[in-house]
Chain A
Amino acid sequence: MTLWNESRRIDRFLSGWMSKRQAEVFKKQLHKHPELADKVRWQKRTLQLVRLSARRQLKKELRQIEAQLLGPEGDTPLKNQITQIW
């Protein structure tokens, strides 16, 4: 199996795109092939890190948006509402 096909199968398994039967077959292969199971573990971790990284990026975007909205040239009705609260 090419590396690409292997990554694709792992991807399909982790994303839930396999049928129930395909997933069962794949799980059996994980038991038989520890190196494959290892790749699945690391791919799962990698995707978690991709998600965490995307959230950090999104938070940066949100801080910039907030600075625009609440800044000197920002959204006056919104600024007034927030000023009334604090």
Chain B
Amino acid sequence: MITITNDSKTKRELLFKELYRSSFPSVARWVKRMGGDREQAQDIFQDSLIVFYEKTVQGLLENCDNPPAYVLGIAKKLWLKKYHKIKNDIPLTDWEKNISIPPDFYHQNKKQRRLLRFVEAAGKKCLEILQSFYYHQIPLSEIARQFGFSNTRSATVQKYKCLEKIRNEVKSKNLSYDDIME
């Protein structure tokens, strides 16, 4: 059973290092069989770890008893998504085919990337708070401690203030919904 406490960067780093040791060689070998080079293998593997991390944080991998195999499966799906090719003699297994990849992975247009740079520059602390809560799913009590708020309620209020601030700044760029979400 995989458990990961939605915790600090240090614990995340330990998880990633362990996955590098246990899973990177098999992903690298597979990428080579697909005709990819070392840089592509590193890139796909890093993306695989991101998808794996997201699923773990969301509690979707509690019954996963073979993380290296799962990471390899994610890598194969990402390779297919990014490069649109799998060699015919190396098909995906049914189990691998059923691994879901977030639909917005590898799906950013120019405007999204520009908006992303703007958001990242607009308010570093606000963005970190929102990432901690919505992405890393760190409890507000822990966010309060990490960011120096006096209590959970203060952290909650600040979270919503940050959300409104960034939401209004995003809107003020006056980009249309379809431009961003396609």
Residues of A at the B interface (CB closer than 8 Å) are: 3-4, 7-8, 11, 39, 41-43, 45-59, 61-63, 65-66, 69, 75, 77-78, 81-82, 85-86
Contact A48 B131 (CB under 8 A): no
* CB of A75 to closest CB in B, whole Å: 6
Please give, as numbers and ranges, the residues of chain A lying within 8 Å of B136 by CB-CB distance. Answer: 54
Other contacts beyond A48-B181, A53-B131, A59-B46: 9, CB < 8 A: A43-B167, A46-B167, A49-B166, A53-B120, A55-B50, A56-B120, A65-B16, A65-B17, A82-B25
Please give, as numbers and ranges, the residues of chain A lying within 8 Å of B166 by CB-CB distance. Answer: 46, 49-50
The 7 closest A-B pairs by CB, nearest first: A54-B135, A62-B46, A81-B25, A54-B131, A46-B167, A7-B160, A86-B38
Main secondary structure of the interface of B (DSSP, over half): helix
Residues of B at the A interface (CB closer than 8 Å) are: 9, 12-13, 16-17, 20-21, 24-25, 28-29, 32, 37-38, 42, 46-47, 49-50, 53, 104-105, 108, 112, 115-116, 119-120, 127, 130-131, 134-136, 157, 160-161, 163-164, 166-168, 170-171, 177, 180-181
When chains A and B are docked, how far (Å) is the Cα of A77 from the Cα of B17? 13
Given contacts A53-B119, A53-B131, contact A42 B170 (CB under 8 A): yes
Please give, as numbers and ranges, the residues of chain B lying within 8 Å of A61 by CB-CB distance. Answer: 9, 12-13, 16
Residue in A43, A55, A56, A69 whose CB lies within 8 Å of B17: A69
